[in-house]
A and B are shown apart, each in its own frame.
Chain A
Amino acid sequence: MPEAGPVYGIIAEFDSPAATLQAAEKIRDAGFRRWDVFTPFPLHGMDKAMGLKNSKVGWFSFLGGVTGYTCGMLMIWYMNALDYPIVVGGKPMFSPFYSFPPSYELTILLGSFGALLGMLFLNRLPRLYHPLLKNRRFASGATHDKFFIVIETADPKYSEAELRRLLESLGSNHIELVEE
């Protein structure tokens, strides 16, 4: 089949989670860098099989949470003790106790936004165009019941002939090139 545009990468389809996991381990050990596995659901053990490090989303969430708590406390102190002090029921103008519930809620609010936005940022989403989504086989299988491994041409070790042989030996039942 003649390829019209520049090639994005080589795509190999797998039928079972176990085969995908084993193939991913082999690709990792072969030292590829610009490659990925596509599955309809998170495949357990795949982080290790791909050699991925612990996700950094937690830091974004932590930053959001700290911001929320600090802002909550400062806001309440400013509003009720500094800018408009008024005695209510003989209670202190500022106390970390009565200002805790709203600050606690703000911690959770901004922590959650941190987790969502951090996840989207690390994943470089939203991305409304992706070469793989133009591939019919991928688009009908990757969110359904098929498993794919894609190695991009941008990988320094990319070589079509060798990869075809490797992926076939790993048990892929369909291998093709994806256009950019």
Chain B
Amino acid sequence: MAEALTHLQLQAPPAELAREPLVANQRPLGWISDTIAGVAEGKTPTWWWIAFSISFPMMLFGFGLIAYLISTGVGIWGPNHPVMWGWAIINFVWWIGIGHAGTLISAILFLLRQRWRTAVNRAAEAMTIFAVMCAATYPVIHIGRVWFGWWMLPLPNSNSIWPQFRSPLMWDVFAVSTYFTVSVLFWYVGLIPDLAVMRDRARTKIRKFLYGLFALGWTGSHRHWSNYEKAYLILAGLSTPLVLSVHSIVSLDFSVSQLPGWHTTIFPPYFVAGAIYSGFGMVLTLLVPLRKICKLEEVITLRHIDVICKVTLATGSIVAYAYGMEYFIAWYSGNPYEKAAFWNRLFGKYWYGGWAMIFCNALVPQLFWFRKVRHNLVLVFILSILVNVGMWFERFVIVIGSLYQDFIPANWGYFRPTWVDVCTYLGTFGLFFTFFLLFLRFLPLIAIAEVKAVAPQADPHHPLGGAKVQGHHA
């Protein structure tokens, strides 16, 4: 048998079937550490300071507006009868949707053994965490009397009243807080080996101490790796149903009510697809410039960008199908209120929202069918921004487009945002980018150990991994 195996030759696949390697140019393992960790080491680059000096004041301005809101009241925002849910809910859903791509990449693609995920999962998970932070700000501040926010938690209070769990809004509290906590846990578990890399590379005492503290004394022992890999697999397995449940529950906030435009059973899968679609848009918006600025083109290769574009195309097409199905059901149901709501989406007072959402979410991603588009990074960047513009308008259409004209004309109105609405939204961008920049500066933005593990040099059965007999290590 052993003799027979020695005659086996590892056949190179034909050129048209050969896959581009995940790390270009067969870089050695040490190069991977040096390149990725190098981004978070050395002198802080100028572009970082420029970006930070924009995002940090934006964040502070956002905090100032939240203080203004709390001290004055929600009247400084646009919502009023009949549109009682305004930008706060639009932006909450928008941000939390963006987060979903991070979990999809880190959990679902892990379970599906998509090895390309290793180059993008760390940054995408960071994006998830910071996006959920931005999202979670809104439900807390939009309730008006913020100091009663803790009544949403199942804690005993002086009124002896408990939260009412028949409402999806309570489910949302559990879904979002669990989502945030589990995303942080998953991110941290992935970071432990890389924090050890940073610890072992640290030059100053304080860096060595802090990275060492958070690396928890990781040595790379295989007895540890064995438990670690199992824990990682379980976390991926738990995060997968979690991410699907979170946006489903967010959608139930709408669909459990009886408002035309909200009261549909298609919402959970439609929201999840839209969330992943917008999240992949944000992943592209962040990574296309980052790979260039941080000189990571050999780790986040064109192949990675290509695959992310394809996922965007797939989820965008699901969203387009959901739009089509909504319109079909509005017509097929014969319900006059449902028909009116959907007519108003395209030809009502907010016609521009309806058309913007169809253009950006149903038509724009179809360009990703073309390889030339997927490989044109400038175009990919522009389209990725349009994706999130479109997804913002989708939530605008759903929230405001459904509320401003319902069953009786007494409930008809028009919603205008105030400058505080707009600037608070900008403030959340400040929060997001401030945290993201700090992440880039202090933590490895790509999972070093995971990228190494998928390199051919790491495979003990590959000639590059030192296997003597090709394909077999004797």
With both beta carbons as reference points, the residue of chain A lying nearest to B196 in the complex is identified as A143
Contact in complex: B185, A112 (CB < 8 Å)? yes
**CB within 8 Å of A: which B174-225 residues:** 174-175, 178, 181-182, 185-186, 188-189, 193, 196-197, 199-200, 212-213, 216-225
Q: At the interface, yes or no: B333 with Cβ under 8 Å from chain A?
A: no
Determine which of B29, B171, B221, B460 lies in contact with A18 in the assembled complex, contact meaning CB atoms within 8 Å: B460
Contact in complex: B178, A84 (CB < 8 Å)? no
Complex alpha-carbon distance, A35 and B420, angstroms: 63
Q: Which residues of B contact A63 (CB under 8 A)?
A: none
Contact in complex: B234, A40 (CB < 8 Å)? no
**CB within 8 Å of B: which A26-50 residues:** 36-47, 50
Q: Which residues of A contact B33 (CB under 8 A)?
A: 40, 143-145
In the complex, per-residue mask of B221-252: 1 if CB is within 8 Å of any chain A CB, else 0: 11111111111001100110110010001001
Contact in complex: B30, A17 (CB < 8 Å)? no
Determine which of B168, B189, B224, B241 lies in contact with A116 in the assembled complex, contact meaning CB atoms within 8 Å: B189
CB of A110, distance to nearest CB on chain B (Å) = 10
Question: Which among B39-47, B83-91, B155-163, B275-283 touches the partner chain?
Answer: B155-163
Q: Which residues of A contact B290 (CB under 8 A)?
A: none
Main secondary structure of the interface of B (DSSP, over half): helix
Q: Which residues of B contact A65 (CB under 8 A)?
A: 238
Q: At the interface, yes or no: A55 with Cβ under 8 Å from chain B?
A: yes
Chain B interface residue bracket vs A = 35 or more
Complex alpha-carbon distance, A99 and B166, angstroms: 7
Contact in complex: B219, A89 (CB < 8 Å)? no
| Most chain B Cβ neighbours within 10 Å, of A21, A46, A89, A108 | A108
Contact in complex: A105, B175 (CB < 8 Å)? yes
Given A41-B458, A109-B182: A57 and B212 within 8 A (CB)? Answer: no
Given A40-B220, A44-B459, A133-B219: A18 and B166 within 8 A (CB)? Answer: no
- Where the two chains meet, the residues of A that have a C-beta atom closer than 8 Å to any C-beta of B are 15-22, 24, 36-47, 50, 52, 54-58, 61, 65, 75-76, 79-80, 83-84, 86, 88-89, 91, 98-99, 101-102, 104-106, 108-109, 111-113, 115-116, 118-120, 122-123, 125-130, 132-133, 139-140, 142-145
Q: Pick 5 A–B contacts, CB within 8 A, sort by A.
A: A15-B466, A42-B228, A112-B234, A115-B238, A142-B200
Known A20-B460, A109-B182, A125-B216; further 11 A-B contacts with Cβ < 8 A: A18-B466, A37-B222, A38-B221, A46-B225, A84-B162, A101-B252, A106-B174, A142-B200, A143-B196, A144-B30, A145-B30
